[in-house]
A and B are shown apart, each in its own frame.
Chain A
């Protein structure tokens, strides 16, 4: 069974810049937890603090309740899967996998058995005698995973493990990683900038920006109820319409004066609702906007404009629609249409509608 991980007020600076700034986080034993954020947000730094490659300036790290802040990397028992895999080029696949066991003084014969067993689990047993250079990216990835898993770590750290793979393989591998973690009951901390990866396999996730955790929750939670425009924009696509509240929030609903006209939104934040005239942003996801003429006739917000650009994506079509803004400036919104009968052409007039409940009032602007 995996270990619980607790990060307490952790700060790691490079020169003056705080790459991780006063971060506190609890990850339950056996949980698959994702750290998500744009590059440079500090997610990898946080992971490397957990692995022990960086020593934080302040704060503490606990694993199974034990303070490991100053334990050297080799005694943390938190296997890492590196972005570049870091398979040692001078050793065979089997020797690579055996290395951790050798460090744990497992007898040679037992070592080989366990290594082959781990390679079998990632379906790489036929490649045991090869060198890493003779493997494809996906195969190297599997070996790296086997190398990390074979020592039965307390915790698995994954640093963008799939970023060097093609799209199809990525899909395959992320399910595989989840399967393996679940089978071993491992706690996993997974760093990525790919929100799809995170949403598809995370139990919970944290969105990071500038060294700070912006929001922590289940993928659904974070996707459906982002706490600010940044999270809304980072977790999937969204249309952000800046504006002001025209009246106080009443029963979770309020009117917002946006650049695209007056719209109704819901407040689902946890804190105190914003006051009248407060600057807010209305977030409506492209898939929440319906094109008129569809089954669900307009209940809620309405916007009308013309198609400016169509992007055919196969199962869906994405339109960029130009709407007349209140002060004459054009406003662009993105709309998704699933499985349309026919593609709309550029210049076609369209009416868009969105349910009130899917128009979220968020504090601040992006």
Chain B
């Protein structure tokens, strides 16, 4: 097989897989909302807007997304700017600390936050206030705050990467012409880093627009994600949920396209890579403390939910009311968790699903990255766009599509009759196939970005040299290219893996049988149980935190600053 053909085969393999497992379910949803009994109609679509409850849900979700993105922007920009300008002792540790909130999905933090802000929580106790339920009072603000605290690291990484790409000569030129620090930042640096920042902003926006776990945990039902979740019961009978999902999809795609259109064309502005190295100013003493302060503050606040979860997992049931710290400590929840079928099973399931998804992503992602970077075919751009598109389609919508697809497939005669096929396609029997697919599709962009970055840094001449000495294309790829991009691949895989482990919407919606619950679904179900459920959930959350912290630290060590590049659209 010659080189062109091998690349072509991988490219087409990826394309077909994406068409089947990504485009088809999404198209299925759209079709379900617009074609009823074989005829096109926009009746249901109009109904979404006419129904005051759903209209309000859409509006609230939009508000949450705007609020979350703007709120997250504040710590992200501040930290990125400080890290860009100043060098001080302990900066590496502090920057790592600022990324830590990522090790826990925001919704798990709700358990911890309820301890802090509940009627008999830490805040009221500390301040001596009465029994005010802060989270119950302002649920929207709770949702926004929790999501912003969980998602700002993505923006921070983007901002840091964008800042690193701004040629210091641009700022120097401004300084040379008399622009002071703040004006320089506002007029020169910020516009230049805008594309990178916007790329991260789009991800955060779409993420928070359709985030399911946090509002669900906070009992905030008037937003589109929870409404879709509740509408799942009608998935077989009514076109209505399909229309609702279609509207959400359109909104997400519109945002994504707008970002691409607004900043995609001007991407060349960032192409002039730093000619001279940028040297942050080394500060000591009071100045260093001042520079470290934002990191400490942001990390402290952002890690409060985590702290709450950890404390909950170690507190005896009923011993943390009206006190700052739990009155009685215990490790019994961990012992119970070890004996509880749902927790152990969830860990096993999550590890299995995530590993399979990452493995699939590695194979497909590397092949597709090859096709995107190395082929000269007209199709490579389509492939590139298609492979990045899962970033624009929320997990909630994908999950809905898979559910609808599964409902259809499970009813086919040949699937029904075969135990094998129904265990693959019928989510009610075994969600493994669709969960792994969902995890893989949505993490594929990260994997591809990682592989593409590696390939772009690896000159094609290395492959040519191998071919010249008699290596066939696959041999050259295996012996020359893969080792050269292995750091990127490992980092991409670790990142994809942790995101799979943390995945919320697909997990909540697709895993319907307790023996197939992944960690996030188990945490959610446990937290809803009366009795010691929330303690078990906390223990499981702590386990996940520790595990993910370890993997992310590994990825950061491997990839360093380049980690930020993976979060770009």
Known: A72-B2, A72-B3. A86 touches B469 (CB 8 A): no
Q: Across the two chains, which residue of chain A brings its CB closest to B486?
A: A90
User: Does B453 count as interface, using CB distance less than 8 angstroms?
Assistant: no
Q: Across the two chains, which residue of chain A brings its CB closest to B483?
A: A90
Known: A72-B2, A75-B470, A103-B471. A86 touches B483 (CB 8 A): no
Q: Which of A76-101 contact B (CB under 8 A)?
A: 76-80, 82, 84, 86-90, 99-100
Interchain CB contact under 8 A, A73 and B484:
no
Chain A residues whose C-beta falls within 8 Å of the C-beta of B484 in the assembled complex: 88-90
User: Does A51 count as interface, using CB distance less than 8 angstroms?
Assistant: yes
Q: Choose among B2, B466, B470, B480 the residue with the greatest number of A CB atoms under 10 Å from its CB.
A: B470
Q: CA–CA, A87 to B3, complex, Å?
A: 21
Chain A residues whose C-beta falls within 8 Å of the C-beta of B279 in the assembled complex: none
Interchain CB contact under 8 A, B467 and A86:
no
Chain B residues whose C-beta falls within 8 Å of the C-beta of A87 in the assembled complex: 465
Interchain CB contact under 8 A, A88 and B462:
yes
Chain A residues whose C-beta falls within 8 Å of the C-beta of B466 in the assembled complex: 88, 99, 103
Interchain CB contact under 8 A, B470 and A86:
no
User: Does A104 count as interface, using CB distance less than 8 angstroms?
Assistant: yes
Interchain CB contact under 8 A, B461 and A82:
yes
User: Does A312 count as interface, using CB distance less than 8 angstroms?
Assistant: no
Minimum Cβ distance to chain A for residue B172 (Å)? 31
Q: Across the two chains, which residue of chain A brings its CB closest to B3?
A: A72
Q: CA–CA, A73 to B469, complex, Å?
A: 8
Minimum Cβ distance to chain B for residue A106 (Å)? 11
Choose from A52, A72, A90, A100 the contact partner of B469 (Cβ within 8 Å): A100
Chain B residues whose C-beta falls within 8 Å of the C-beta of A77 in the assembled complex: 470
Q: Which of B446-479 contact A (CB under 8 A)?
A: 459, 461-462, 464-473, 475-476, 479
Chain A 91-120, CB within 8 Å of chain B: the 1/0 string?
000000001100110000000000000000
Interchain CB contact under 8 A, B483 and A51:
no
Chain B residues whose C-beta falls within 8 Å of the C-beta of A104 in the assembled complex: 470
Interchain CB contact under 8 A, B467 and A151:
no
Minimum Cβ distance to chain A for residue B338 (Å)? 43
Interchain CB contact under 8 A, A73 and B464:
yes
Interchain CB contact under 8 A, A80 and B468:
yes
Chain A residues whose C-beta falls within 8 Å of the C-beta of B468 in the assembled complex: 51, 73-74, 76, 78-80
Minimum Cβ distance to chain B for residue A161 (Å)? 13
Q: Which of B102-146 contact A (CB under 8 A)?
A: none
Interchain CB contact under 8 A, B461 and A103:
no
Chain B residues whose C-beta falls within 8 Å of the C-beta of A52 in the assembled complex: 467
Chain B residues whose C-beta falls within 8 Å of the C-beta of A78 in the assembled complex: 468
Interchain CB contact under 8 A, B465 and A88:
yes
Minimum Cβ distance to chain A for residue B325 (Å)? 52
User: Does A147 count as interface, using CB distance less than 8 angstroms?
Assistant: yes
Q: CA–CA, A76 to B466, complex, Å?
A: 12
Interchain CB contact under 8 A, A80 and B470:
no
Interchain CB contact under 8 A, B459 and A100:
no
Q: CA–CA, A84 to B462, complex, Å?
A: 10
Minimum Cβ distance to chain B for residue A328 (Å)? 49
Chain A residues whose C-beta falls within 8 Å of the C-beta of B479 in the assembled complex: 99
Q: CA–CA, A53 to B473, complex, Å?
A: 12
Interchain CB contact under 8 A, B462 and A86:
yes
Q: Across the two chains, which residue of chain A brings its CB closest to B468?
A: A80
Interchain CB contact under 8 A, A82 and B2:
no
Chain A 135-154, CB within 8 Å of chain B: the 1/0 string?
00000000000011001000
Choose from B3, B459, B471 the contact partner of A84 (Cβ within 8 Å): B459
Chain B residues whose C-beta falls within 8 Å of the C-beta of A89 in the assembled complex: 484
Q: Choose among A84, A88, A147 the residue with the greatest number of B CB atoms under 10 Å from its CB.
A: A88
Minimum Cβ distance to chain B for residue A19 (Å)? 15
Choose from A74, A88, A147, A148 the contact partner of B467 (Cβ within 8 Å): A74
Interchain CB contact under 8 A, B464 and A103:
no
Chain A residues whose C-beta falls within 8 Å of the C-beta of B470 in the assembled complex: 74-75, 77, 100, 103-104, 151
Q: CA–CA, A77 to B470, complex, Å?
A: 7
Minimum Cβ distance to chain B for residue A147 (Å)? 7
How would you classify the secondary structure of chain B's contact residues: helix, strand, loop or mixed? helix
Interchain CB contact under 8 A, A103 and B469:
yes
Interchain CB contact under 8 A, B464 and A86:
yes
Chain B residues whose C-beta falls within 8 Å of the C-beta of A148 in the assembled complex: 469
Interchain CB contact under 8 A, A84 and B2:
no
Chain A residues whose C-beta falls within 8 Å of the C-beta of B2 in the assembled complex: 72
Minimum Cβ distance to chain A for residue B299 (Å)? 37
Minimum Cβ distance to chain B for residue A76 (Å)? 8
Minimum Cβ distance to chain A for residue B41 (Å)? 48
Chain B residues whose C-beta falls within 8 Å of the C-beta of A90 in the assembled complex: 483-484
Q: Across the two chains, which residue of chain A brings its CB closest to B469?
A: A100
Interchain CB contact under 8 A, A73 and B461:
no
Chain B residues whose C-beta falls within 8 Å of the C-beta of A75 in the assembled complex: 470
Interchain CB contact under 8 A, B462 and A103:
no
Minimum Cβ distance to chain A for residue B8 (Å)? 14
Minimum Cβ distance to chain A for residue B7 (Å)? 13
Q: CA–CA, A51 to B461, complex, Å?
A: 12
Interchain CB contact under 8 A, A86 and B471:
no
Chain A residues whose C-beta falls within 8 Å of the C-beta of B472 in the assembled complex: 72, 74
Q: Which of A139-182 contact B (CB under 8 A)?
A: 147-148, 151
Q: CA–CA, A74 to B480, complex, Å?
A: 14
Interchain CB contact under 8 A, A82 and B471:
no
Q: Across the two chains, which residue of chain A brings its CB closest to B458?
A: A89
Q: Across the two chains, which residue of chain B brings its CB closest to A51?
A: B468
Minimum Cβ distance to chain A for residue B461 (Å)? 4
Minimum Cβ distance to chain B for residue A81 (Å)? 9
Chain B residues whose C-beta falls within 8 Å of the C-beta of A100 in the assembled complex: 469-470
Q: CA–CA, A43 to B475, complex, Å?
A: 29
Minimum Cβ distance to chain B for residue A335 (Å)? 42
Known: A90-B483, A90-B484, A103-B475. A72 touches B467 (CB 8 A): yes
Interchain CB contact under 8 A, A73 and B483:
no
Minimum Cβ distance to chain B for residue A86 (Å)? 4
Q: CA–CA, A285 to B465, complex, Å?
A: 41
Minimum Cβ distance to chain A for residue B5 (Å)? 10
Q: Choose among B3, B465, B468 the residue with the greatest number of A CB atoms under 10 Å from its CB.
A: B468
Chain A residues whose C-beta falls within 8 Å of the C-beta of B469 in the assembled complex: 74, 79, 99-100, 103, 147-148, 151
Interchain CB contact under 8 A, B475 and A86:
no
Q: Choose among A53, A74, A147 the residue with the greatest number of B CB atoms under 10 Å from its CB.
A: A74
Chain A residues whose C-beta falls within 8 Å of the C-beta of B471 in the assembled complex: 74, 99, 103
Q: CA–CA, A244 to B20, complex, Å?
A: 74
Q: Across the two chains, which residue of chain B brings its CB closest to A144?
A: B465
Minimum Cβ distance to chain A for residue B149 (Å)? 41
Q: CA–CA, A99 to B3, complex, Å?
A: 19
Chain A 239-263, CB within 8 Å of chain B: the 1/0 string?
0000000000000000000000000
Q: Across the two chains, which residue of chain A brings its CB closest to B2?
A: A72
Chain B residues whose C-beta falls within 8 Å of the C-beta of A99 in the assembled complex: 466, 469, 471, 479
Minimum Cβ distance to chain B for residue A13 (Å)? 14
Chain A residues whose C-beta falls within 8 Å of the C-beta of B459 in the assembled complex: 84, 86
Q: Choose among B464, B465, B480 the residue with the greatest number of A CB atoms under 10 Å from its CB.
A: B465
Minimum Cβ distance to chain A for residue B4 (Å)? 9
Minimum Cβ distance to chain A for residue B375 (Å)? 14
Interchain CB contact under 8 A, B467 and A84:
no
Minimum Cβ distance to chain A for residue B477 (Å)? 12
Q: CA–CA, A90 to B473, complex, Å?
A: 18
Interchain CB contact under 8 A, B480 and A82:
no
Minimum Cβ distance to chain A for residue B430 (Å)? 42
Q: CA–CA, A86 to B463, complex, Å?
A: 9
Chain A residues whose C-beta falls within 8 Å of the C-beta of B483 in the assembled complex: 90
Q: CA–CA, A165 to B530, complex, Å?
A: 76
Further contacts, 9 of them, CB under 8 A, given A74-B469, A86-B459, A88-B466: A53-B464, A53-B467, A73-B468, A86-B462, A89-B484, A90-B484, A99-B479, A103-B471, A151-B470
Residues of A within 8 A of B (CB): 51-53, 72-80, 82, 84, 86-90, 99-100, 103-104, 147-148, 151
Shortest 3 CB-CB distances between A and B: which pairs?
A100-B469, A103-B470, A86-B465
Q: What are 16 sample pairs from A and B whose C-beta atoms fall under 8 A apart? A: A51-B468, A52-B467, A72-B3, A72-B467, A74-B468, A74-B470, A74-B471, A74-B472, A80-B464, A86-B459, A86-B464, A88-B462, A88-B484, A89-B484, A99-B479, A147-B465
